[in-house]
Chains A and B, each alone.
Chain A
Amino acid sequence: MRSIGKFSPYLLIAPSFFLSVFVIGYPIFDVVRMSLFKVNRFGKLQKFNGFGNFTKAFSDDVFLQTIGQTAIWTVSVVGGTVLLSIPIAMILNEDFYGRSVARTIILLPWAVSLAMTAVVWTWVVNGDFGTLNMTLNSLGLMDGNYVWLANADAAFTIVILIGILVSIPFTVTIFLGGLTSIPDTLYEAAMTDGASGWKRFRYITMPLLKPFTQIAVVLNVIYVFNSFPLIWIMTNGGPANQTDILITYVYKQAFRFGKLDKAAAGSVVMFLMLVVFTILYFYITRDKHPAAKKAKQPDGAALEDLNVSKA
């Protein structure tokens, strides 16, 4: 082994490294290049355009409006998902009869493709023969049919709610992992120390779940920010671009209007937004006490292991 020398580790990871560069790095390079050139509708680079494509994008009112909508969409879906997932995970972490069935049911939406979910929900909220109208009518809460997706506010609310629904399984899984890593004796100690249920949640569960909350927020923001199928299938960004988010906007620019250069500029903006968000988020939530992070206590060992595998 020694004869291969100190380069052998690099040699061994070289194939995967170059594959990654090819699969991940090249598209990024290509889209950045496109964003700086004039591009015709068939994707051929014409001439260098500097930041012209970006100026064009930012002078488009729809683009600016879409940025705002993307923010609303991401914050609502991620916020709603995290807020709902913590209690759900806590319930599923309790020992009760039928827990494994309940866990399976919660995870079920994960097994269905987003496109499929979107199609099903489109039918549910359909104005003419959707089951939502039918249910509300037979409960006497509504008289006559309502075309939900025709109203921008209603449509946006509906896609956000479905966005939350499909993000819950993954997020609950993260939190369940986090909860299992908190030893029961900590709760017992807190109990004998006189902490009520709420205070145990506030002072034990919340702080010890923090690393898992961070991961859940960052990963969900990245997924949700870029989530295409739900909105595309259910509203197509409509009515009047009022449910468009950046990804659907970019897609429309590229493949409906043939403006590949403007779309590339939009993509680069999206990419930078995510990078800036991630850096900023980890900076804000960084551990002020670096020592506490890797609790090397017998109890904390499980926590530490999980931390590492999630990171």
Chain B
Amino acid sequence: MSSINVRDVAKFYGSQQVLFDVNVAIEHGEFVVLVGPSGCGKSTLLRMIAGLESVSGGEIRLGDELINDVSPQKRDVAMVFQTYALYPHMTVEENMLFALKMRNQSPQECAVALKQVSEILGLGDLLDRYPKQLSGGQRQRVAMGRAIVRNPQAFLFDEPLSNLDAKLRSHMRTEIRGLHQRLGSTSVYVTHDQVEAMTMADRIVVMNGGRIEQIGTPIELYDNPANKFVAGFLGSPTMNFIDGELRVEGNDAAFISHHQHEFQVDSHANMGDLRKRRATIGIRPQNITLTPVDSQGDAMVGRVRVVEQTGSETISVVDFLDTEIIVQSPRRQLLNPDQMVLVEFDMAAAHMFDAQNGLRLN
């Protein structure tokens, strides 16, 4: 196992730059998830660590070794591909032992490794099968077995679960996480699914447009997003945003929505001077409560549009202050469409973002 150090890394395709000054230090034994919308450069970064893409600038180190120009077959990292990339003409056993064979390991060593890994992954009965005779989940497991059997310096996962159905995906999520706890291997995992990122990562790297937005543990990023992008990307349902104006006077701060509704806000050092500025308030669906009311008088009243019952909780879409907010109540709340509701924000949990650069102000 080894640490991975990515320093000032850039990537160009021709004159187009797709990665800008990427810096990540992945520690020995850490499970790091690269997450972001498609096209954000997360897969490119992973493939650069694997050696499948050249490094246009900066340096990548595996342990202490600079690996910028080391060919992929000489880097001791294993990769699990989105399409599994199992060799279709080889049995499960041959697939798993391919890497060992390429490294001229003795048959005895192969047998020991094969036995151990197939036990861990429960592949014992499948060793003579061909990939096409396996289900999606089994193929996924073989692909992981192929990586584990080598006992590499690091594991790289490129959206390994995106071809599986929802149920299997959540099952494999737990399985991969459990495997990591058992093997303690340095892992880099790429996904566009924020649920995977939140549930699996020791640390998450949120990427957008070829840049890193924020790095931190899932809870840190969830509670203290550095900017509006991170806040909106993590968490499900996504955070609600309301545009308006922030006015700060001494220790008093207030947020005035476009609808002239005023929210009291705790002032914060980041809010700076006394001037007013355009800002966005961000509040998670879990931090809003709805109470049915009769009248329409109060500005804090909204109209329910859609109600989704999951059985244990209620998700409502509410027209509120000219926009649409999503509210998740942790219990069964019987609301009807078109019903008027009083909307209450838990302001202590609200975030304030600068409307210009998206940075968090509180």
Contact = CB atoms under 8 A, between A and B. Distances in A.
Interface of A: 183, 185-186, 188-196, 199, 203-204, 207-208, 210, 289, 291-292, 294-300, 303
Given A194-B73, A292-B89, A297 B146 contact: no
24 contacts: A183-B83, A185-B81, A188-B50, A188-B85, A189-B85, A190-B87, A191-B71, A192-B72, A193-B98, A195-B73, A195-B98, A203-B87, A208-B88, A208-B89, A289-B130, A291-B129, A291-B132, A292-B130, A295-B130, A296-B132, A297-B84, A297-B131, A300-B88, A300-B132
B99 interface: yes
Contacts of B102: 190, 193-196, 199
Given A192-B77, A192-B78, A208-B88, A298 B52 contact: no
B352 interface: no
Contact of B88 (A192, A193, A295): A295
A292 to B, nearest CB: 5
A295 B51 contact: no
A122 to B, nearest CB: 45
A193 B146 contact: yes
| A interface SS class | helix
Contacts, number: 99
B128 to A, nearest CB: 9
A291 B133 contact: yes
Given A189-B87, A193-B146, A291-B132, 4 more contacts: A185-B85, A189-B146, A191-B71, A292-B88
Nearest to A207: B89
Interface residues of B, number: 35
A108 B146 CA distance: 44
Nearest to B152: A192
Contact of A300 (B78, B99, B131, B163): B131
A295 B85 contact: no
Contacts of B77: 192
A203 B87 CA distance: 9
Interface in B28-85: 50-52, 71-75, 77-79, 81, 83-85
B167 interface: no
A59 B86 CA distance: 57
B133 A204 contact: no
A186 B87 contact: yes
A290 to B, nearest CB: 10
Interface in B95-128: 98-99, 102-103
A151 B167 CA distance: 75
Contact of B98 (A183, A185, A203, A291): A203
Contact of B81 (A188, A210, A295): A188
Contacts of B247: none
B139 interface: yes
B347 to A, nearest CB: 49
B71 to A, nearest CB: 8
A304 to B, nearest CB: 9
Contacts of B89: 207-208, 210, 292, 295
B52 A188 contact: yes
By CB atoms of chain A within 10 A, which of B77, B87, B98 has the most? B87
A134 to B, nearest CB: 47
